[in-house]
Structure 1
Amino acid sequence: MIFGYTEEQLASFFLTYGVAAFILFMLFIIGHLAWESKAGRFGTFVLFLGLGLGFVGFLAKFIIQWWFQR
């Protein structure tokens, strides 16, 4: 018990909200990288596609879990 929560509750919270916050921060970093490099529209699209594609897996996992728990 840490702060009145079990290890399972803490892990669930941080795997959901902590990783989501990290993904948003990474999207900010990718956008800033595109802005600083003056990548243009297509270059920005390629940066977000290439660097942000891994986020789709996390979001799909979250949606699939939600679907099965309904």
Structure 2
Amino acid sequence: MRHNFILFTKNYYSFCEEYFGRYIHHAPVIGNGDSKPDIETKLSELYSYIYDKLGEETLNHWFREVPKKYFNKV
């Protein structure tokens, strides 16, 4: 979802300022060698952060409803 949101730069910038107090840059890391436990830990931290900042409804929408609707997965 974030990758798509970034394309709408003005909206993304405003969102970041409102909810995080700063602009969050996109800085992908490719081939960093993360092990599976590291990835699971990072996902858990991401889910917790989204839940705490944006709420359970947003977390469920982004990671349950959207994948079902657009990718037929979950």
Q: TM-score, normalised by structure 2?
A: 0.30
Work out which structure has the larger RCO, using CA pairs closer than 8 Å and 6 or more positions apart in sequence.
1
Q: TM-score, normalised by structure 1?
A: 0.31
- If you compute each CA radius of gyration, which structure gives the higher value, 1 or 2? 1
Bigger proportion of residues as helix: 1
